[in-house]
A and B are shown apart, each in its own frame.
Chain A
Amino acid sequence: MNRIDQAFAQDKKLLSIYFSAGHPKLEDTLPILKALQAAEVDMIEIGLPFSDPLADGPTIQDSATQALANGMTTQRLFDQLEQVRDHIHLPLIIMGYFNPILQYGVEAFCEKCEAIGIDGLIIPDLPADVYHEHYQALFEQHGLYNMFLITPQTPEERIRYIDKVSNGFIYMVSSASVTGAKATFGDSQTDYFKRISALGLNTPQIVGFGISNSETYQAATNHAQGAIIGSAFIQFLEKEGVANIGAFVERIRQ
């Protein structure tokens, strides 16, 4: 069973954390993963940095820019993760834009992910229909899940299609926006979470974009099986450093 499915099979709300590999420091990847596991998060998304991250707000873009300046590359990330399964049992997802994966070679990328023990990918600019037509068979051959995003504007027909094509979970983008921390969610977000929850989809949903504290985490997980925190975690890392990750997670879960 894929580790992502195992996580969703538990009777609990999941907390998933995103960070940009190579930020704040080039060699922080493994220390961050270990600290997140020690803090008992449920899933981790490792950001493969890209020069032009269209769907991301300033926090994640700046962290990616810094990571690239630090010397992060696709190959270096794979090297850092070579022995990751000796230490980390949590589901691991690589989230990155399609061009670096295309240049590495999609097949070689999938092979490498399988060898390391990556459970799935999130590629925001690889649309579901292109994935389905060209890459799904390859991903499945390597045991890789591919997760898709939906937004409050995604038509129901499209959501049903994505539900059919995806495995693992559907990444519910909290509002029409790029990534970035928000202090609260309004009624329109809550209505949207409820509407999606009522669709009875086969794939579980988790909420991402705009989750920054225990209030937004609670609001998100009231109507979904989990939530993803990225920008707020990256801002914390910059200020407080890897050593204090436990405190961050505790504050979210309180």
Chain B
Amino acid sequence: MQYNVNEKGYYGDFGGAYIPEMLYPNVEELRLNYKKITAEPEFQEAFNALLKDYVGRPTPLYFAKRLSKKYNTKIYLKREDLCHTGAHKVNNTIGQILLAQRLGKNRIIAETGAGQHGVATATVCALMGIQCIVYMGAVDIQRQAPNVARMKMLGAEVRPAQSGSKTLKDATNEAIRDWINNPVDTHYIIGSVVGPHPYPDMVARFQAVISAEVQNQLESLEGRTYPDHVVACVGGGSNAAGIYYHYLEEKRVNIIAVEAAGKGIDTGESAATSALGKEGIIHGSKTLLMQTPDGQITEPYSISAGLDYPGVGPMHAHLFRSGRAEFVSITDDEAMTAGLELSQLEGIIPAIETAHAFALFEQRPFGPEEVVVVNLSGRGDKDLNTYIDYFKLT
């Protein structure tokens, strides 16, 4: 079985481009050009130089000694939290801004939930001197004030999405509408492995640098290029796509996806798409998504704003349905506890999204000689208020 995208833009049953005709020219322009442009040596050179000198790559692969001892296994952390802007999101925005420049676009739009992708987009737009408009749900703007301020400081305009539930899915709708209204001069930087083909593949390729580095780093640390298990949290799934990418077809690697169960899968307040979702279409992609029996898309819930997306990228839907990946769901409480534990055992405060991945170790044993690589996708500074409230730290 093939786990990566096929030439028609599908991952097994999932993917494709279910888009209104108004978007066809924009998406078709990307589809025809993204592989060609990103393969050009000048593009590669510019991309790699920025990843190295601006983002700070390669990020370390760090052996977490005390965590490993506690869980009696060998845990390595891929330190994406050390990327400029504090998360893996910037790998993709660097790639897409270079692509947008080569397509002659002079206006950038993006959607954001918690604000991390918005900040990463505003950052590269400032770097390149390109106009930047970020759509963000009106509710999220209230919840994520520091990231709104960061985007504004970086020169971006933050437009509130007032429609529907006023969160990430609505911000995405508004960004798509903006693109429909501005089809010629604008590039839409989607922040995850979602949306119509070629977005899931394009974003996965930009994030694939994560697993490419892990291969090299593990070789010198463990004498082999692959771990026994690779673990990541999945909302839309971009950090996961990045750390799985070079291991998709490597059967010796067990792939583990950690979703947000929110208050619990059966509580009606959850974002665990693999458990609760059904095949359908969201934002131009056929995938698993949370919806009513009537096909209306429902609002997910998680304590972490970065995981409350009602779908998953089509790659992950395929990894789930084919059985290639093991899917686990973690509640708010389990994630918060794991976030605190990582802080106190390793001196690293993770983003709450990322903390979900670490809660896995309480749920599932690993062998003492097994090598487990966890993608430490983001740092927790942005979540301090949530941590403070939850643990009554003041």
Interface residues in chain A, defined as those with a beta carbon under 8 Å from any beta carbon in chain B: 50-55, 57-58, 61-62, 65, 68, 73-75, 97-104, 124-128, 130, 148-151, 153-155, 158, 162, 173, 176-178
Q: How far is the CA of A54 from the CA of B22 in the complex (A)?
A: 10
Q: How many whole Å from B107's CB to the nearest CB in chain A? A: 14
Can you spell out 29 A-B residue pairs with CB atoms less than 8 angstroms apart? A51-B297, A52-B169, A52-B282, A54-B177, A54-B283, A55-B177, A55-B180, A58-B163, A61-B163, A62-B163, A65-B163, A68-B296, A98-B281, A99-B297, A100-B294, A100-B295, A102-B281, A103-B294, A103-B295, A125-B19, A127-B17, A149-B21, A151-B25, A151-B183, A153-B25, A154-B21, A154-B24, A177-B22, A178-B181
Q: How many whole Å from A192's CB to the nearest CB in chain B? A: 13
Q: How far is the CA of A176 from the CA of B183 in the complex (A)?
A: 7
Please classify how large the interface on chain B is, using the bins under 10, 10 to 19, 20 to 34, 35 or more. Answer: 35 or more
Q: A99-B280, A154-B25, A176-B182 are in contact. Are A55 and B20 (CB under 8 A)?
A: yes
CB–CB A124/B21 < 8 A: yes
Q: How far is the CA of A177 from the CA of B181 in the complex (A)?
A: 4
Q: Which residue of A lies closest to B280 (CB)?
A: A99
B284 at the interface (CB under 8 A from A): yes
CB–CB A73/B294 < 8 A: yes
CB–CB B164/A98 < 8 A: no
Q: How many whole Å from B28's CB to the nearest CB in chain A? A: 8
Q: A54-B177, A130-B16 are in contact. Are A74 and B21 (CB under 8 A)?
A: no
Interface residues in chain B, defined as those with a beta carbon under 8 Å from any beta carbon in chain A: 16-22, 24-25, 163-164, 169-170, 173, 176-177, 180-184, 278-284, 291, 293-298
Q: How far is the CA of A189 from the CA of B217 in the complex (A)?
A: 58
5 smallest A-B Cβ distances: which pairs?
A103-B295, A100-B295, A55-B20, A51-B296, A149-B21
In the complex, which of the residues A74, A125, A158 contacts B20, with contact meaning CB atoms closer than 8 Å?
A125
Q: How far is the CA of A54 from the CA of B17 in the complex (A)?
A: 13
Q: Which residue of B lies closest to A56 (CB)?
A: B177
CB–CB A149/B25 < 8 A: no
Q: How many whole Å from A102's CB to the nearest CB in chain B? A: 6
Q: Which residue of B lies closest to A98 (CB)?
A: B281
Residues on A with C-beta less than 8 A from B17 are: 127
Q: How many whole Å from B308's CB to the nearest CB in chain A? A: 15
Residues on A with C-beta less than 8 A from B295 are: 50, 74, 99-104
In the complex, which of the residues B16, B20, B284, B293 contacts A149, with contact meaning CB atoms closer than 8 Å?
B20
Q: How far is the CA of A12 from the CA of B201 in the complex (A)?
A: 49
CB–CB B25/A52 < 8 A: no
Q: How many whole Å from A254's CB to the nearest CB in chain B? A: 30
Q: Which residue of B lies closest to A129 (CB)?
A: B17
CB–CB A127/B296 < 8 A: no
CB–CB A125/B183 < 8 A: no
The CB with the most chain B CB atoms within 10 A, among A52, A57, A100, A128, is that of: A52
The CB with the most chain A CB atoms within 10 A, among B20, B278, B291, is that of: B20
Q: Which residue of A lies closest to B296 (CB)?
A: A51
Q: How far is the CA of A183 from the CA of B330 in the complex (A)?
A: 52
Given A55-B22, A149-B20, 18 additional A-B pairs, CB 8 A: A52-B297, A54-B176, A54-B283, A54-B284, A57-B177, A73-B294, A98-B281, A102-B280, A103-B278, A103-B294, A127-B18, A149-B22, A151-B21, A153-B183, A154-B21, A176-B22, A178-B22, A178-B180
Residues on B with C-beta less than 8 A from A52 are: 164, 169-170, 173, 282-283, 297
CB–CB B296/A50 < 8 A: yes
Residues on B with C-beta less than 8 A from A148 are: 21
Q: How far is the CA of A254 from the CA of B163 in the complex (A)?
A: 35
The CB with the most chain B CB atoms within 10 A, among A62, A75, A154, A178, is that of: A178
CB–CB B18/A126 < 8 A: yes
Residues on B with C-beta less than 8 A from A102 are: 279-281, 295
CB–CB A125/B181 < 8 A: no
Residues on B with C-beta less than 8 A from A100 are: 294-296
Q: How far is the CA of A62 from the CA of B16 in the complex (A)?
A: 28
Residues on B with C-beta less than 8 A from A127 are: 17-19, 21, 24
CB–CB A151/B22 < 8 A: yes
Q: A52-B169, A99-B280, A125-B281 are in contact. Are A178 and B16 (CB under 8 A)?
A: no
Q: How many whole Å from A209's CB to the nearest CB in chain B? A: 9
Residues on B with C-beta less than 8 A from A153 are: 22, 24-25, 183-184
Q: How far is the CA of A52 from the CA of B22 in the complex (A)?
A: 16
CB–CB A103/B291 < 8 A: yes
Q: How many whole Å from B291's CB to the nearest CB in chain A? A: 7
The CB with the most chain A CB atoms within 10 A, among B22, B281, B291, is that of: B22
Q: How far is the CA of A89 from the CA of B297 in the complex (A)?
A: 34
Q: How many whole Å from A179's CB to the nearest CB in chain B? A: 10
Residues on A with C-beta less than 8 A from B291 are: 99, 103
Residues on B with C-beta less than 8 A from A97 are: 281
Residues on A with C-beta less than 8 A from B173 are: 52-54
Q: How far is the CA of A101 from the CA of B280 in the complex (A)?
A: 10
Residues on A with C-beta less than 8 A from B279 are: 102
Q: How far is the CA of A66 from the CA of B296 in the complex (A)?
A: 13
Residues on B with C-beta less than 8 A from A98 are: 18, 281
Q: How far is the CA of A75 from the CA of B176 in the complex (A)?
A: 29
CB–CB B21/A65 < 8 A: no
Q: How far is the CA of A93 from the CA of B264 in the complex (A)?
A: 42
CB–CB A155/B25 < 8 A: yes
